[in-house]
Structure 1
Amino acid sequence: MGEAGIPTTKVVCGIIERDGYVLLTQRSKNMSQPLLWEFPGGKLEAGESEAECLEREILEELNISILPLQRLTPVLHKYPDFIIELIPYTCSYQGGTVCLMEHTSYEWVPLQDLKDYEWCPADVPVVEEYLQLGG
């Protein structure tokens, strides 16, 4: 549990790189943080490594294969009803065609355009760190 008994949810996200572009997904209007952009990923399940979680979630939600490469700095972000620990990884795209299962939209974006999107609040520090590292 996080502060004042608010649950903390561990979520692993992937900064998926392909030919100088990064994959972004837009949350659907029915999800929390509707229509905001994020690095795709999902909740860590018991007994699962962060890399296993990320590979599973990306395959389930986007129908593509990835290879997690480098763990970046986790972000703790407090939303009104829960706290998220967002654990980002840079990843290389391995294959498959993106097929959206939960999201409204996706885009392959060059690094210089990352700041042009309206991000989920927890993803903002991830974007900033990734850009400081030079992608």
Structure 2
Amino acid sequence: MKKTIKVAAAVIQNDRDMILCALRSPTMSLANLWEFPGGKLEEGENAREALVREIHEELGCKIEADEIIADIHHEYEKIVVNLISIQAKIVEGEPVAKEHAELRWVPVSELVSLEWAPADIPTVNALIN
């Protein structure tokens, strides 16, 4: 049986209805695919707590985590990812790509133009619909 990893992802929308998208770096697994920024839950954390911590670590800004958009289980070759996508807003600072190759603000209508990591696609579809 494959190991399941719980991951929280931030769907950060700005005041111009653009969504923050992050390009995975060439050194990461699923290199050069787009994702919603976030990371793994640590022992004892809930998804919102993990997301606030991960965004501060990865992007150097503070967010407020709101409602859950999607709770997806995606099976990759070696693991299962339980991706919990959460609506969020920046409350302090500007996001900076510390681990990702690029950050980009993208209109919702153009999200489909990016090549997404498979686990993120259901969230993209939920946002478009």
TM, length-normalised to structure 1: 0.91
Q: Give distance in 2, aligned partners of 1:48 and 1:7.
A: 18
Normalized per residue, which structure has more strand?
2
Q: Give distance in 1, aligned partners of 2:93 and 2:70.
A: 28
Equivalent of residue 29 in structure 1, options 26, 29, 37: 26
One-letter amino acid of the counterpart of residue 58, structure 2: E
| Number of aligned positions between the proteins | 128
C-alpha RMSD of the superposition: 0.9
What is the SS of the residue equivalent to 1:58?
helix
How far is 1:53 from its partner? 0.3
Q: Give distance in 2, aligned partners of 1:131 and 1:111.
A: 6
Equivalent of residue 9 in structure 2, options 4, 10, 13: 13
Equivalent positions of 1:1-135 (< 5 A) are 5-19=1-15, 20-132=17-129
Structure 1 unaligned segments of length 5 or more: list them: none
- Percent identity reads 38
TM, length-normalised to structure 2: 0.96
How far is 1:73 from its partner? 2.4
Q: Give distance in 1, aligned partners of 2:105 and 2:75.
A: 28
Structure 2 unaligned segments of length 5 or more: list them: none
What is the SS of the residue equivalent to 1:73?
strand
